[in-house]
Every structure is written in structure tokens, then in C-alpha cells.
A and B are shown apart, each in its own frame.
Chain A
Amino acid sequence: MLAFILRRLLQSALVLLSVALIAFAMFRFVGDPVNQLVSLDTPADQVRQIRQSLGLDDPVLVQFGRYVMNALRFDFGISYQFRQPVTALLAERAPATLELALVSALFSLVVGIPMGVYTALRRDGVLARLFQAVSLVGVSLPTFLIGILLIYLFAVQLGWLPSFGRGETVKLAGGWTTGLLTVSGLKALILPAVTLGLFQMTLIMRLVRAEMLEVLRTDYIRFARARGLTTRAVHFGHALKNTLVPVITIAGLQLGSIIAFAIITETVFQWPGMGVLFLKAVQNVDIPIMAAYLVMISGLFVIINLAVDLLYAAVDPRLRVTLKGA
């Protein structure tokens, strides 16, 4: 097991190194960064001086090495537009995005799994068919449209929930700001979380349904019924546990995409998270932020994948053997 984790960590390091290379390459291919810093009438001397002080006339490999070493210390340079350290900018906004992502992931699992189980068990029921039909809408409607529709209904027409922002936040130790502890923060979270999680929820529901139907046809379920186990034990013990094995993978990968693609939802709801920061960075060609965002998201994916692999082994004993042998 330990060997497996170590090997996966090594692989993860390689993945991150290649991502860092791509991020680093952005600095060079999106034009000369010095031009972003100086104006047209800056003397050539001063330009050379800036270039030198930023280390931009060193060999590419040395620059890349320096970039990686700095990244390891969470130093991604200074933002062009804000003139502040990128790490501080991201850290300031990360809580908003992470809270939004986790709540919507939780929403999609807590609602999606029971709906999937229900539609599988009552395949021909009216409610199950309704869920199926609605889930098609959830899968096919684009996120921004869902967001706008929800705002129109719940913020504009009914006036129950705020249409933008994060509400009141509370500062916790370590600089983490949370909106989960105030009423207005919670209210502000509902619409964006539902918008962001709706697609994942319908995806998980359809996945659970398909897997569950598959599992219910297997011999061990027939045998469990032949042994006279209660329907409850058969469905929620034997069948559901087997259903969750593939669901874990998808849910894990989806958590990564939720964080990465929160950008759209954040824009629609003016959510003060990393997504909005990233979009501004794109508009202003703020390479350090884009590069740092890229590295951070891929780091998240790598960590989630590792966690998923370990969870897999916790659920399925057959994999533990494979892992031990690895």
C-alpha cells in the first residue's frame, strides 16, 4: 500500500512538473512580459534594467528552474494588473470558490444518489419517469442559462434569495473567510451552488441509476434474494455498495471540474472567487495569475485522483490485493 502511494506521488510530481512547464511556456509565448510592464516612452536602458532585474535574460532552463523552485514555495510572482503577489490574491479568493464547490458537490451527491437509487428501483413509476425527464434538462441546459433562469425566478420574481455576491462573511483563523456562518451568506450560497451542482447532480443520478440496474441483474443479487434477505438489505446493502464503486470515480473527477468550471457560475452570480479573478486575468493578459491558476487546478485534480484511488481500495477488497502486489 505504501509503495503504491509513493509511486502515485512520484507520478503526480511528474504530472505537476509538466503542467508547470506549460504554465511557464505561457510567459514566453504570449509576448514579451516586459512590454506589459513598461509604457511606450520608457527609455531602452530602463527596459534592459527591468529585464535584467526580472531575470528574463537568463537561459530558458534556468528561468524554468527558478519558476519551479518558486512555485514549490507557493510564490507565483507578482500580478501585472494588481501589482500584488499572485499567491495572496488567490488565497484571498480561494475560500469563496472552495466553499461554493464543496457545497454544490455535496448537493449533487446528497440529491443525486437517492434519486438514482429511486429511479432504478421504481423503474416504471411516474415519479421515476419524471426524474428521468427532468434530468435530461439538467444535462442539456448550459450552466449560465440555468443560473440566469434561477436568478429570474428566485431573485427577481419571488425576491427570496439574493442574485449576486456572497453575503456577509466571517473571518476565521488562518485568514479563511466563510459565508457558511451567517444567514445572508447561506442564502447567497443557495442559487450559485444549485446552478453549479445541477449538471453534476443529474449526471450522478443517471450514473447511479444505470449502475444500480446493472448490479440488480447480477447473480449475487439473485442469490441474496434466494437467501431470503430483506429487500432493504438486498437493495441498500448489497446492491448500493456495488453501485458506488464506479460512482466514486466519477464524483471525484467531477469535484475537480466543479472547482475548475466554477468560473462561469461565479461570473453569472458575481461570486468573489478565483473564477472571476481568472477571467479578469484573461482579459488583461495577466499571465502570472493564469499560470498559477493552471498549476493550482491541476494540483487539485492530482490530489483528488489520489484520494479516489485510495477510496476505491477502501470499498473494493479485490483492489487491495492488486495494490499490495504493486
Chain B
Amino acid sequence: MTEPVLSVRDLTVEFVTRRGTLRAIDSVSFDIAPGEVLGVVGESGAGKSLTGTAVIGLLDPPGRIAGGEIRLSGRRIDDLPADEMRRIRGKRIGMVFQDPLTSLNPLYRVGDQLVETIMTHLPVGRDEARRRAIDLLAEVGIPAPERRIDGWPHEFSGGMRQRVVIALALCAEPDLVIADEPTTALDVSVQAQIIALLKRLCRERGTAVMLITHDMGVIAETADRVAVMYAGRIVEIGPVREVVKHPRHPYAQGLMGSIPALEESRERLQQIEGSMPRLAAIPKGCAFNPRCPHAFARCMVEKPVLLESGASRVACWLHDGTGLGEETAA
């Protein structure tokens, strides 16, 4: 097996507040292979975006990495000095944010932002950087790039701006792109185009993608593997077909079950009862236990670890081969 581009082990992120330390991400581990697309799903506040932010080293205080390690192509990056981590951002790891309308600096020409980024990471002169910028704009599907490169962000539509943002994320040919809800702020009609563009560009370059979204349709179409997050932990991770078709974790089952199928006609949409606990009040044992229809005694006391189950891994005691429903001392 080839070495993963990104390898995250037991990543824990905490926020130190006046009222105590909140654990927003709790021992998250996953790998992304070269060229692979890993979808990360979960409801708001599950820690998806925060995981991406931690990987690229942009956690703002009071948030901090409290444990675990992050490796990029085998090299540890979570403990790098600020300036070395800065060199990795944009060069080795690119990032695409949710809202293209606010991602670009309104006072700089589109071309200047591209040229500036290219010249920061690659040893090229201004003319060469500009030539590359025009090529990139053409590649992301911006018509008349040699003219548009001198345009201002406000002269571009939302979809076009997201194309520019993607060009900016890819301009130094990174090994990994973290796309944080890249289509959420866009028109439905544009979403598919942007996803297709991102997918094509990354396949051509062999770039791995960490695709953070809560759109299961996007995941099913784009991702190779998918990780489901709940209350700061990964509850299920596996090949996209498995997780979408045969979810094993009760939360993942609820999540997939709540997607209405076209052929069904239903009075009410299915939903998972209750809501995700606040960070300050995560229950003991499995965080999902108050909402889980299958919870039993062990779930109330012992935090489940990721267990092999078929092609996937699931953090649920229902899938612990040592004994279903058996009470174990933690």
C-alpha cells in the first residue's frame, strides 16, 4: 500500500474558555491516500470544518491541538514552527472555503491575487506567474481569461468566483485540497458544475481531496470513502458505497434514512429524534446514546472505539464481536 498523503492520528482539539476546557474534536484518526477523495459528513457543529482547519494549521486561539499528530506524506506537520507551516499552506495543502463571495479580497484584482500566490510558492517571475494564472483561469472554465484576469472580484458571479477560488487553491499544485462546503453557498444549478470541476482537476493532477459537506448527494457522487462525524468523533468510516447503502452506526443509519428517495411518497421525512449535545454536555460513554434506538448499558459508560465491520470501521458497541449487549467494565 502506498504511503497516505495525509495521516491523522488521535487528533484532539480543545478550546480553553473561562468556564473550562471544551473538547471539540476527540481522538479523530483517518488517512487519505494519494488522489483519493475522502468525504466528511455530519451535522453542523460535529467538528468537520474544525478538523480541516486543524489539518491546515489555521486554528484560531483559544482553539488548540491538544493531542495526536498530523502527518503529510509521512512528515509530521502539527508541531512545525509557524513560518514552515505557512510554506506548506497553499503549496502542499490547498483550501477552498464555503463562501466564494467573501473568500476573495474585494480590493485586489483577481489576477493580482493569483500572481501573488503563485509567486509566494513557486520560483517564477511576475510575467511567468501571470501566464500561469491565465492558464489556470482557462482551466477552471473562466471565459476570456486574458481579459478577466484584470477584473475585480465583484465583477464575477458566485459560481465564477468559486472557480477563481479553486484556481487559487490549486495554483501551486498541492498534494491535498481541503474543500470546506465548497458548494453550500452556491445556486443549485451551479453546484454540480463546481463539484465536477473540482473532481476533474484533482483527478488530472492526482490531488487528494478532503471534501467537507453535509450534502450526501455530493458525497455519493464524488467521494471514494466517507467519514461520518458526530460530536467531535468519527463514528463510521468506509468506502462510500458501503456507508451510503449499508450504514452500520445507528447515527449513520439515521442520516442516510433521512434522505428522501424520489420514488417514495411519504407524509413526513424521517428524522433522528433529539439534537446533538453541546460541547459542554457530551454524555458519558457513547455521545449518541441519548438519541440511539439501540443503546444498551455498555453505551452509557464506555466510549466506543472504531471497530472493523466488513469494509468499514464503526465506533459502536453493537459491532463489537466480543459480545452483543454484554456488560463490560470500562
**Residues of chain A whose beta carbon lies under 8 Å from any beta carbon of chain B:** 218-231, 233, 237-238, 241-242, 245, 315-318, 321
Q: How far is the CB of B43 from chain A (nearest CB, A)?
A: 22
Chain B residues 3 to 53 lying within 8 A of chain A, measured CB to CB, are none
A321 to B156, CA, bound (A): 13
Known pairs A220-B105, A238-B105; list 13 more (Cβ under 8 Å). A223-B104, A226-B90, A227-B90, A227-B95, A227-B120, A228-B89, A228-B120, A228-B121, A231-B82, A231-B86, A241-B107, A242-B107, A316-B107
- Residues from chain B with a CB closer than 8 A to the CB of A238 are 105, 108
Could you tell me if A242 and B105 are in contact, using CB atoms closer than 8 angstroms? yes
Chain B residues 99 to 134 lying within 8 A of chain A, measured CB to CB, are 99, 102-109, 116-117, 120-121
Q: Which residue in chain B gives the minimum CB-CB distance to A223?
A: B103
- Residues from chain A with a CB closer than 8 A to the CB of B102 are 218-220
Q: Is the interface of A mostly helix, strand, loop or mixed?
A: helix
Could you tell me if A220 and B58 are in contact, using CB atoms closer than 8 angstroms? no
Is B296 part of the binding interface, using a Cβ–Cβ cutoff of 8 Å?
Answer: no
Q: Which residue in chain A gives the minimum CB-CB distance to B114?
A: A227
- Residues from chain B with a CB closer than 8 A to the CB of A225 are 58, 86, 89
Q: Assuming the A-B contacts A222-B97, A238-B105, are A229 and B56 also in contact, with contact meaning beta carbons closer than 8 angstroms in the complex?
A: no
Could you tell me if B120 and A220 are in contact, using CB atoms closer than 8 angstroms? no
Is B154 part of the binding interface, using a Cβ–Cβ cutoff of 8 Å?
Answer: yes
Chain B residues 142 to 171 lying within 8 A of chain A, measured CB to CB, are 152, 154, 165, 168-169
Could you tell me if A223 and B154 are in contact, using CB atoms closer than 8 angstroms? no
Could you tell me if B106 and A316 are in contact, using CB atoms closer than 8 angstroms? yes
A224 to B169, CA, bound (A): 10
Could you tell me if A222 and B58 are in contact, using CB atoms closer than 8 angstroms? yes
- Residues from chain A with a CB closer than 8 A to the CB of B107 are 241-242, 245, 315-317
Could you tell me if A220 and B103 are in contact, using CB atoms closer than 8 angstroms? yes
A316 to B87, CA, bound (A): 30
Q: How far is the CB of A319 from chain B (nearest CB, A)?
A: 10
Could you tell me if B120 and A229 are in contact, using CB atoms closer than 8 angstroms? yes
Partner of A219, one of B103, B108, B116, B152: B103
Q: How far is the CB of A185 from chain B (nearest CB, A)?
A: 40
Partner of B152, one of A222, A237, A315, A318: A318
Could you tell me if B99 and A227 are in contact, using CB atoms closer than 8 angstroms? no
Is B298 part of the binding interface, using a Cβ–Cβ cutoff of 8 Å?
Answer: no
Q: List the 9 closest A-B pairs by CB distance, nearest first.
A: A228-B90, A228-B89, A219-B102, A226-B95, A227-B90, A317-B152, A220-B105, A223-B103, A227-B117
Could you tell me if A317 and B154 are in contact, using CB atoms closer than 8 angstroms? yes
Can you report 27 A-B residue pairs in the complex whose CB atoms are below 8 A from each other? A218-B102, A219-B99, A220-B103, A220-B106, A222-B97, A223-B103, A223-B165, A224-B105, A226-B58, A226-B95, A227-B89, A227-B90, A227-B117, A227-B168, A228-B88, A228-B121, A228-B172, A230-B120, A231-B82, A231-B86, A233-B116, A242-B106, A316-B106, A316-B107, A317-B106, A317-B154, A321-B154
